[in-house]
A and B are shown apart, each in its own frame.
Chain A
Amino acid sequence: MNSFCLVMAALAQPLPWIGEHSALDPSGTASKHVASLWWAMFWTSLVVYVIVMIALGYAAFRRRTNAPADATSSERLTPAPRSVHLTVGIATGVTVLILFIVVVTDFFTARAIATPATGAVHIKIIARQWWWYAVYSGDTVPQQQLSVANEIHVPVGKPIVFTLTSRDVIHSFWVPNLNGKTDAVPGYESNAWFRADTPGVYRGQCAEFCGLEHAKMAFTIVAESEEQYNKWYQAQLAPAVPTTDSLRSQGERVFMTGTCSSCHAIRGTGAGGTLGPELTHLASQRTIAAGTLQNTPDNLARWILDAQRIKPGAAMPSQELSSRDLNVLVAYLEGLR
């Protein structure tokens, strides 16, 4: 089977998000307010629309006495009866009233979802073409600061506050289940937040056109219990699992002697590149390439070998590796839990 088919097969694998990742299936405090607002506006609009259509239909199709196609010239210029003036006036007044109520409802909803001053967790997001870099402030204790890429864990039921910026062009951070989007603008720091009310794995995707692979810049939010979150956090802080078996040692050698370490860091080893995501706990992630592929050994192999076919233009170059080197490398990486 040629590699193209393999790639296509890989992309067709189911990915691990649950829920509809729909804004109308809200799992967050803020997105629930917005969904309620939507339904209120929807029903109001529907009622108004039906009334206007009925009025239009009646006006157009009502039966008229002796209705020839051409009117006499005097009828064309006679003023409309008073009842028509009254109806138009009332309709205008009702419109103004409804719109006023809509605006007031908007303001109350906006207040309800305003970014809180502080949250339980503070995360700085640095958006880059075409992946997401997240830095947990860890209560400003340097040893507790954590950087991850593309998969962001949060405790359920707590407000999570984000500061967003971009390294290059404008991107937009959006998890429809949890809240509306906020743009990450170079030269600016923008604020966003959400509070996940239900544990789950939520999909996010960049929502501001940012270049060639804008379509493949997704990310994952994992909302879990506080206990699980803390466990995850501590595990991520730890340096890389040391290699014990020879297969992984060979893989580590391929990594360190090849071009990998010039872009990727693995804490606890000599690899310190910062152009690409840190790979210290790569195997703990659900997806790779910013949500493009499920994280399986096969997919990882395909990504390393032919990144430019899966995500052309990405900073990750396709690699020329012998199949043996590729196998040990993948074994090494899949051991980085």
Chain B
Amino acid sequence: MTAAMSPASRGPIDEDVQELARTWSRPPGFWGWLTTTEHKSIAKRYIITAFTFFLLGGLEAATMRLQLGRPENSVVGPDLYNQLFTMHGTTMMFLFAVPVMIAMGLYFVPLMLGTRNVAFPRLNAFGYYTYLIGGAFLYISFFCNTGPDAGWFNYVPLSGPMFSPGKRIDVWAQTITFTEIAALVGAVEIIVTTFKHRAPGMSLNRIPLFVWAMVVMSFAIIFAMPAVATDSLFLALDRSIDTHIFNPAEGGDALLWQHMFWFFGHPEVYIIFIPALGMVSSIVATFTQRQVFGYTAMVLSLIATGFISFGLWVHHMFAEPIPVLGESFFTAASTMIAIPSGVQIFCWIATVWTGRPRFQTPLLFVLGFFVVFIIGGMTGVMVASVPFDLQATDTYFVVAHLHYVLIGGGVFPLFGAFYYWFPKITGRLLSERLGRWQFWLFFVGMHVTFFPMHTLGFHGMPRRIYTYLAVTGWGPLNLVASIGAVIIFVSVVLFLVNVAKSWRGGAVAGPNPWHGDTLEWATTSPPQSYNFARIPVVVGRGGLWETPDEQPVVGGLRTDTREVLLTTLLDAEPESVHELPTDSIWPFLLALCMGITFISSIFAPWGALVGLGLGFLPALGWAWPTKPPQPERISPERAS
């Protein structure tokens, strides 16, 4: 394998490509599936699993809407209803929204950076299995009538040992543990891959906006997840070994739970929203055939949004007995965070203005994002005001607000991204016709379901009630909302039909059906296991648009081992090469071991310690060198 600096333009040598395919392939059958460390395979599993949870969460919502469609309905009783709304929130926030965003990052960040895999391939597999075990555990418990029932934010003392006996809340607390580990793993992957694995020439100011969004999301995860993990640890200890962190009778504090939960909880919604902003940037650029206007402003806006989101959490607690003076700070910060979002919206509009829009389904969903999310953003600025919030909080007004921002700001871009990137993942295009139908039904259904809830909130309807009296007058608008839920249901079914039809039967896509500029479009659809036959070199922010005639590439990476190129942090100059580990069963086994540990700790607290001790064995197996020693080139730069 030679790597001559050849002036002649040609493709990679056939033997090299064949050897690459062998090196990066996985063993056949189930064992190969279980042990693979290939990032696209793992990301696809995440996406499919997360989408399954989306459907389950949707069914929970549909059941709730059925119950609330009429006053004093008896579709479900209070106990099941309380589990349903808890499961709906927990599923959507922890099992769908965050994992699916991470998954899109795990699939596309390495491709957009021009590398072959994420930084820690085995850790990636471990993260997925942990997530899968956690989600399965939650649902098995729910089907055994042990689903959590104190809301997805699970306030104490209701969720404490005195007022929620039994195992339901312990199930919730352990689900948190699984999902936050998986999220932290994904975040570390995205950050380290972006820092060290970029294609040569991709300096910081040439990184695609989608990648920037994923990196900001990942930093938010790193600082937010520990808060919910610690909070749920305290609760698990209160419930199992009789600690008193949240017990007012022994000096504990009921508000501490809220502070720590919302310190996580507010960044959490930005963890969902910020990647969606990256998706919007990708789609706007490609479907207007213009680079997004104001790159620097866009990057700074992403960073500012992520940063400021950590200073807002008390706005979830304005009705609590907390110092009024402190509340003012959070009003100001909660209002201020609209500014970077506004800047981004203006920059996108400017991009559309100066470009040539093609109104295909991905762009439709982005336009839908503007219409829906901005409404949610504005009601958000309203509830940032303490006096107004004291009327609106804990009512259906806030339910309306949060769905407008999460669906408008998260799910619309996500569907757009599915339509945009489905051809890259599968090699086939989704049907445009079905896509338009889905879009319009979803758009209309969304408004019909959630707009009336603003009014319901004003009319005194609190959140989380399993029924209401006819005399309150809430019946008609609730019926409208429930009808809207049916429309949404139909639109999601259409999406599933579209995916089923197009997976094998859609139009063949080719490498770059949309004429995109980012590097994922520089390789086949779907990409090979090694992503690129040769690592691309980046010459400008315009990506592929800057190299229309020929693609500069890197030569000299080994094809007989899983070698990747590491570059410097700021300017992406080649620095070293790194051999990624082989496929392995140990990530799965370690995830299983930790799963058993956390689940058994619900029944026997000391099981947690035993399990963690046993985890030493799969960890050792994971780190155990299996390949024979080979000659290395050790970097001369070492500290003394």
Contacts and interface: CB of A to CB of B under 8 A. Distances in A.
Contact of B382 (A45, A176, A180): A45
B467 A180 contact: no
Contacts of A179: 390
A141 to B, nearest CB: 27
B84 to A, nearest CB: 13
Contacts of B589: none
Nearest to A182: B319
Q: Interface centre among B294, B353, B515, by most A CB within 10 Å?
A: B353
Given A52-B374, A174-B462, A188-B254, A37 B163 contact: no
Judged by DSSP, the binding face of A is mixed
B155 A209 contact: yes
B388 A37 contact: yes
Contacts of B78: 212-213, 215, 312-313
Given A59-B352, A210-B158, A215 B378 contact: no
B487 to A, nearest CB: 22
Interface stretch (A64-72, A151-159, A315-323, A327-335): A64-72
Contact of A64 (B342, B356, B381, B462): B356
A214 B79 CA distance: 11
Contacts of A88: 293-294, 297, 343, 346-347, 350
A31 B342 CA distance: 30
Interface in B209-267: 248-249, 252-255
A113 interface: yes
A31 B353 contact: no
A186 B254 contact: yes
A88 B378 CA distance: 19
B157 A170 contact: yes
Interface size class of B (residues with CB under 8 A): 35 or more
Contacts of B393: 181, 207
Contacts of A212: 78-79, 82
A49 B375 contact: yes
Interface in B324-353: 324, 327-328, 331-332, 335-336, 338-339, 342-343, 345-347, 349-350, 352-353
Contacts of B158: 169-170, 209-211
Contact of B290 (A53, A76, A110, A209): A76
Contact of B253 (A17, A49, A187): A187
Interface stretch (A91-99, A119-127, A227-235, A246-254): A91-99
Interface of B: 72, 77-79, 82, 150-151, 155, 157-158, 162-163, 248-249, 252-255, 289-291, 293-294, 297, 319-321, 324, 327-328, 331-332, 335-336, 338-339, 342-343, 345-347, 349-350, 352-359, 367, 370-371, 374-375, 378-379, 381-382, 384-395, 458-460, 462-473, 515, 517, 540, 542, 545-546, 548
25 contacts: A20-B459, A23-B391, A45-B378, A48-B378, A49-B374, A53-B370, A60-B359, A71-B290, A76-B291, A77-B291, A77-B540, A77-B546, A88-B294, A88-B343, A105-B385, A169-B155, A179-B390, A180-B390, A185-B321, A187-B249, A203-B472, A205-B460, A215-B78, A216-B467, A312-B79
Given A8-B72, A214-B462, 8 more contacts: A14-B471, A77-B546, A88-B346, A181-B319, A183-B320, A186-B157, A187-B254, A209-B82
